[in-house]
A and B are shown apart, each in its own frame.
Chain A
Amino acid sequence: MMGAEFVPLSLPPMLIGTFAAIACALPGNFLLLRRQALIGDAISHVVLPGIVAAFLLTGMVSTWPMMLGAMAAAVLAVLLIETIRRLGKIEPGAAMGVIFTSMFAGGVLLLEMTDTSAVHLDVQHALYGNLESLIWLDATGWSSLLDPDALRYLPAELPRMAITLVVVALFIAAIWRPLKISTFDEGFARTLGIPTGLIGMALVTVAAVAAVAAFDAVGSIIVIAMFICPPAAARMMTNRLERQIGWSVVFATISAVLGYVLAGYGPLWLGAQDAVSAAGMIATVSGLILGITALAGPCRTRSGAPEGA
């Protein structure tokens, strides 16, 4: 698998998958600790209506309007959930369930009612993404990585996902202290004068940025799985937030790389002909990692004390 075709066919999707996984896992750590893990689920569902609406407004499948549309839909969903939660005095989980399913249904309906057969836009694509098709045809081998001519034709998703990852990481680093304090003890954070409401909203927004960018490249399954599984697995490994984030990055990377390899080459090893869905396989591997840590992680139990300590 390390032959000449590795760089053009496998390296870009693998990198994109890894960047997407890490970009989602980073905010996922905080969402998990704040008991907002399902926000990622909600965001990844409402991205679809946002993209469809953007397509209907602009009439073309291009990246930026769709990203903006998805972003707007994500923010709208968060606002709507909050609004109906307050207006109707509905518990948060149910409010979320009402909004994201209805918006998703609206998106599917819009998509089916309008003629999008001419463009590459369908529900399946939104769900599983098209990681396998993000290939770099101009590369001839490892030397192409230093060849500016070939580099210009990298799949656009790769730099975009890399930039998203950097933005997400920088954001979390920038508000690290207030974010950490308000995640663990909101009351204490407020007495220190930290604007906890603003911090919470900023975290959800950055999660939405990561989700929208990743969704575009890899589909919504990876987004949901990476928001939750690597941080949850990391939580079984340690009691310290810094180490938890480190573990979650490791787990996200392993899931993305191993998942891609298993999806692309696994069936060949088993004698089958075609690859299976990389997005699905990455989610599966992240679930396996979570299963292993839940069985054997040092901090898996609720008391959180390492065994024997």
Chain B
Amino acid sequence: MLADALLLQLGYNATLVAIGATLLGVAAGMTGAFLYLRKRALVSDAISHSTLPGVGLAFIVMVALGGDGRALPGLLLGSALSAWAGLLCLGWLVRRTRLAEDAAIGAVLSVFFGVGIVLLTVIQTMSAGKQAGLENFLLGSTAGMLRTDAIVIAVGGLAILAAIFVLRRPMLEVAFDPEYAAARGVNVDRVDLAMMGLVMAVTVVGLKVVGLILIVALLIIPSVTARFWTERADRVILIGGLVGGLAGYAGAALSAAEPKVPTGPIIVLMAFVLFLLSLMLAPGRGVLAALIRHLRFQQRVHLRQGLLALAQAQPIYEVRTRRLLRRAGLARADGVATEAGRARAARALRDEKRWEIVRTDPAHEAAAEFYDGLTDIDTVLTSDQIAEIDARIGAPKGVPA
């Protein structure tokens, strides 16, 4: 069953839903990446919550006009309008009052959500509203989704991707460095507005699949995940899209295979699993990589200190140092240096002495910055400079030339 679902063997509708969810995930991941690079990830929380009153009002208006209140395009239009209103309120609170952006976000999301809940209870009391099922917009549900709904979602996802493709350059510039973008003549306010428009579009398209409470996760988690894998802004966006798409696809497939599993939460948890894997395993920024880096650093310190001790014929008590020296073939089990060990030890001690000269001589101030007790001096100074320092140190004492 699960394999069938992942291979899109559960029928035409489930396949359509899975494709829609994948496109939505890609669009959300990429849009969220711009938002994340702009350091405004949580604005999406306000936008998504402020869709609810629009859904309710659209339902009421459509019923009042004698239509079917559940028509998806109408509901999506309503949600887009009220998300826009929420965004305007947010911008107004941040610009015109002393509230910081986070407080304004919280205020907008809670108040709009409250209004939306009031409208939902109004709808429940309407005769046409008994079976409205608008609660599904809170957490998303693809069970019993109409074919036209799935097509609306897939087309919406494609449209957002097209818009991202068209706007990618100015958005990337603004997200990466707004001041520089402004200096290059990009209209930052307008690009910001376009970015918010995309977030709104993702939210609206995602209402049916993921739900308005959790769509923010699909905007934030993929980009945070992508940031682990790269230091380049454009790749954050591509990887963000990939992660979002994977999560959307796997989540929709799982939920199709097991109808009891609600679609929105499972998509979010898929994204979270990818996030956890990246947090642990990503090269460079991942936890495991950091751990390995730290262990390597410790090894270098132990080896260096061990070599210096060998060179000065001091006993080594630290078990780990002795083990590392032995494993590198620099010392025997009883702690006595091997031939290679003596050579390396002498070199380490000579380097240390050279560093001492470098650090006391103002002429070498720039080079002295690199001293950390581990760096080989010939990676910092030229051989001429080293020869000059060696001349100052003089020949080894007590050793026949």
Does any Cβ of B come within 8 Å of A35's Cβ? yes
Does any Cβ of B come within 8 Å of A272's Cβ? yes
1/0 contact string of A213-237 vs chain B (CB within 8 Å) = 0000000010011011100100110
Residues in B whose Cβ lies below 8 Å from that of A274: 121, 125
Chain B, residue nearest A95 (CB): B224
Chain A, residue nearest B52 (CB): A280
1/0 contact string of A90-119 vs chain B (CB within 8 Å) = 110111111001101110110011000000
B203-232 at interface with A (beta carbon < 8 Å)? 213-214, 216-217, 220-221, 223-224, 227-228
Chain B, residue nearest A97 (CB): B220
Residues in A whose Cβ lies below 8 Å from that of B392: none
Among A12-20, A145-153, A170-178, A281-289, the stretch in contact with B:
A281-289
Q: Write the nearest CB–CB distance from A48 to chain B, whole angstroms.
A: 10
Count contacts on A: residues with CB < 8 A to the other chain: 65
Residues in B whose Cβ lies below 8 Å from that of A294: 92-93, 96-97, 99
Quick check: B262 and A112 within 8 Å, CB to CB? yes
CA distance A292 to B113 in the complex (A): 19
Residues in B whose Cβ lies below 8 Å from that of A279: 114, 117
Quick check: A101 and B217 within 8 Å, CB to CB? yes
Among B8-16, B22-30, B263-271, the stretch in contact with A:
B263-271
Quick check: A32 and B103 within 8 Å, CB to CB? yes
Partner of B116, one of A90, A124, A280: A280
1/0 contact string of A130-169 vs chain B (CB within 8 Å) = 0000000000000000000000000000000000000000
Residues in A whose Cβ lies below 8 Å from that of B183: none
Partner of A227, one of B106, B113, B116: B106
Chain B, residue nearest A283 (CB): B114
CA distance A20 to B373 in the complex (A): 59
Quick check: A284 and B98 within 8 Å, CB to CB? no
Count contacts on B: residues with CB < 8 A to the other chain: 60
Does any Cβ of B come within 8 Å of A263's Cβ? yes
Residues in B whose Cβ lies below 8 Å from that of A89: 285
Quick check: A94 and B224 within 8 Å, CB to CB? yes
CA distance A300 to B94 in the complex (A): 11
Quick check: B221 and A101 within 8 Å, CB to CB? yes
Chain B, residue nearest A113 (CB): B260
Does any Cβ of B come within 8 Å of A276's Cβ? yes
CA distance A265 to B99 in the complex (A): 33
1/0 contact string of B107-148 vs chain A (CB within 8 Å) = 101111111111011100100000000010011000000000
Does any Cβ of A come within 8 Å of B77's Cβ? no
CA distance A104 to B213 in the complex (A): 9
CA distance A273 to B125 in the complex (A): 8
Residues in B whose Cβ lies below 8 Å from that of A301: 96-98
Among A36-44, A57-65, A71-79, A180-188, the stretch in contact with B:
A36-44
Among B42, B107, B287, max chain A CB count under 10 A is at B107
Chain B, residue nearest A96 (CB): B42
Residues in A whose Cβ lies below 8 Å from that of B111: 225, 229, 283-284, 286-287, 290
10 additional contacts (CB under 8 A) given A102-B217, A221-B113, A300-B97: A97-B224, A98-B275, A108-B265, A221-B110, A224-B113, A229-B107, A232-B104, A273-B125, A281-B118, A283-B114
Residues of A within 8 A of B (CB): 32, 35-38, 40-41, 45, 84, 87-91, 93-98, 101-102, 104-106, 108-109, 112-113, 123-124, 127-128, 221, 224-225, 227-229, 232, 235-236, 263, 267, 272-277, 279-284, 286-287, 290, 294, 299-302, 304
**Can you list 16 pairs linking A and B with CB atoms under 8 Å apart?**
A32-B103, A97-B221, A98-B224, A101-B268, A102-B221, A104-B265, A105-B272, A109-B262, A127-B117, A277-B120, A279-B114, A280-B114, A286-B111, A290-B107, A290-B111, A301-B97
6 cross-chain pairs, A with B, having the tightest CB-CB distances, nearest first: A283-B114, A287-B111, A280-B117, A101-B217, A225-B110, A105-B268
Residues of B within 8 A of A (CB): 36, 39, 41-42, 45, 92-93, 96-100, 102-107, 109-118, 120-122, 125, 135, 138-139, 213-214, 216-217, 220-221, 223-224, 227-228, 260-262, 264-266, 268-269, 271-272, 275, 279, 285, 287, 290
